[in-house]
């Protein structure tokens, strides 16, 4: 399982399409501890074509990423700034935040920059992770994505 899939498993509920259908066409096994996956709001039976209740850019199955991560941050026992730091985001999700893990994530996300410049890579990684969360049904604050 790739790093991005691990991130998705920590944020999206097991029933979410981002988990059922892994990004980039890979298959993703169920999380080892389903109880650790946050619950999602109940899905609505409103047809996808009905956009009268919400703008077209909002999906009924969106997961409020900010709310989930803020909740985890309150329980972290240490200050973690997930909004700006990929390292803190990974720590908050109890994932490997080492330089090698971040280089692996950069490779998975097709980073074309110099992985030796970890500051630039980290900024790019954080933005890309937020973009991927949004592309896969996560409600991400606009200032955290492209």
pTM here is: 0.72
pLDDT (tens digit, 9 = 90+) per residue, 70-129? 999 999 989 999 999 999 999 999 999 999 999 999 999 999 999 999 999 999 999 999
pLDDT score of 2 more than 80: yes
Contact 99, 121 (CB under 8 A): no
pLDDT (tens digit, 9 = 90+) per residue, 15-63? 878 786 654 444 333 434 434 434 444 433 333 333 333 333 444 468 9
Domain ranges of the chain: 3-27+62-144
CB burial readout 89-106, b (16+ within 10 A) else e: bbbbbebebeeebbbebb
């Amino acid at each position: 399982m790739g790093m991005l899939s691990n991130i998705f498993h920590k944020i999206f509920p097991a029933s979410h399409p981002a988990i059922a259908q892994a990004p980039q066409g890979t298959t993703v096994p169920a999380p080892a501890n389903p109880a650790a996956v946050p619950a999602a709001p109940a899905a609505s039976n409103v047809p996808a074509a009905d956009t009268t209740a919400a703008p077209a850019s909002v999906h009924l199955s969106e997961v409020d990423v900010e709310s989930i991560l803020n909740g985890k941050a309150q329980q972290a026992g240490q200050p973690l700034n997930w909004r700006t730091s990929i390292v803190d985001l990974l720590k908050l999700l109890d994932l490997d935040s080492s330089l090698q893990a971040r280089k692996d994530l950069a490779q998975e996300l097709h980073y074309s920059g110099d992985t030796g410049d970890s500051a630039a890579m980290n900024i790019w990684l954080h933005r890309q992770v937020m973009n991927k969360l949004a592309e896969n049904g996560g409600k991400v604050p606009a200032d955290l994505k492209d």
